[in-house]
Structure formats: structure tokens, C-alpha cells
Homo-oligomer: A and B are copies of this chain.
Amino acid sequence: MARLDFYFDFSSPYGYFAATRIDALAARHGRTVKWHPVLLGAVFKTTGSVPLATVPLKGEYSFRDFERTARFHGIPYRRPANFPIATQLAARAMTWIDQSFGEAKAVAFAKAAYAAYFVDGADITQPEGIGRAAQAVGIRTDAMLEGANSQPVKDALKAQVDAAMARGVFGSPFVIADGEPFWGFDRFDQLEAFLKNGKI
């Protein structure tokens, strides 16, 4: 059975929530998951969107919703001091780890980077913060930084983001299962029904 494509941005709380659940959800239906970091900054240029937290009225609500949604689902979450953040470094680091050490380590890094940012309060835009996630999966910070900042890795990530937009990805989290798109952690109930029944 085809893998699920899971798109996420490292600055997206709902992407983080989804990241804590997507592998188990897929496994319940005999599926595996391909994890794709994307850059919402690039995507939002296409859609004309702005970060949720910066919108009048909606912004204040969104912080409340992040915390309430985390409690509702029993997911550890602490509001980061800086939000939203640029996620080029984290996404490039994951891309380099995928190329250099394979997919399993890249996914473990992604989970560690999300936890560093949304649980431990690390600044993952900085070498020290993102370095914690690298060390958690046994990779040296200096090697990761050199790899993440290399031109081939930058180019590879840009190509991945362009490919995601070409498939219609416009937010985080975004899952494509057998061609069917699901945007948002709050569509995981529909995703689960789709995987179970083959349709909705």
C-alpha cells in the first residue's frame, strides 16, 4: 500500500501535534509515512497568506487554541518565546541528515527538533538550539551545520518545497494519502476514516 506523504513546517504547532501522531495513525492501517519538511514562508508568498498569529483577533485566539488543542490531545506543549520563526536551518538540516544518514534518522531528528522548540523552548533558528536535536540522534552540531548550509542541500530543499506546492500543499500539517489531500491536524479524524474505509 502506498506511503502517506506528510508535509510540515518546523514552526507550525499543528504540524508538531501531527508529528506526534502520524506514524502511529499510519501504522494502524498498514501504512508508512514519508516526512517532507516545507517552508511556509515560501508557500505563503504563493497563497498571499500570513502567519496565523499575526492576524488581528485570530492571532490571539490561535495561541489559546495551540495550548487547548495540546491539552485536549494530551500532547506536551509550551508556548515558545519566539513564534513564528524562520525554519530554513531546521529544514535544511533534516534534508542533509536524510541524504547522509537515511530517512529513519531524519525523521528522528525532525521529532527531536519539534520537541526542542515546542517543549524545551530551544531556539531552533540558532546552531545551539538545533544542535540539541542533532545530538539527540547522535550527530555532531558542526557537521550538521556544514551540511545544512551547503548549496546542494539548499537546492534540494528548495526543489522539495516547489514539488510540494505543485501538489497543492499550502499549509502545515498537510497529508496526501492515495491522492487525497488533508490539511490540518483537525482533519486527522477524516484521514483515519479514509485509511480505514478507502473513502469518505
Contact = CB atoms under 8 A, between A and B. Distances in A.
Contacts of A183: 58, 61, 65
A79 to B, nearest CB: 16
A68 B190 contact: yes
User: Which size class do A's interface residues fall under?
Assistant: 20 to 34
Contacts of A50: 48
Nearest to A64: B181
Interface stretch (A2-10, A126-134, A165-173): A165-173
A156 interface: no
A184 B181 contact: no
Contacts of A193: 72
A56 B65 contact: no
26 contacts: A46-B56, A47-B55, A48-B50, A48-B55, A48-B56, A49-B55, A49-B58, A55-B170, A57-B165, A57-B168, A57-B169, A58-B171, A58-B183, A60-B168, A61-B168, A61-B170, A61-B181, A61-B183, A65-B183, A65-B187, A68-B190, A68-B200, A72-B189, A72-B190, A72-B193, A184-B186
Interface of A: 46-50, 55-58, 60-61, 64-65, 68-69, 71-72, 165, 168-171, 181, 183-184, 186-187, 189-190, 193, 200
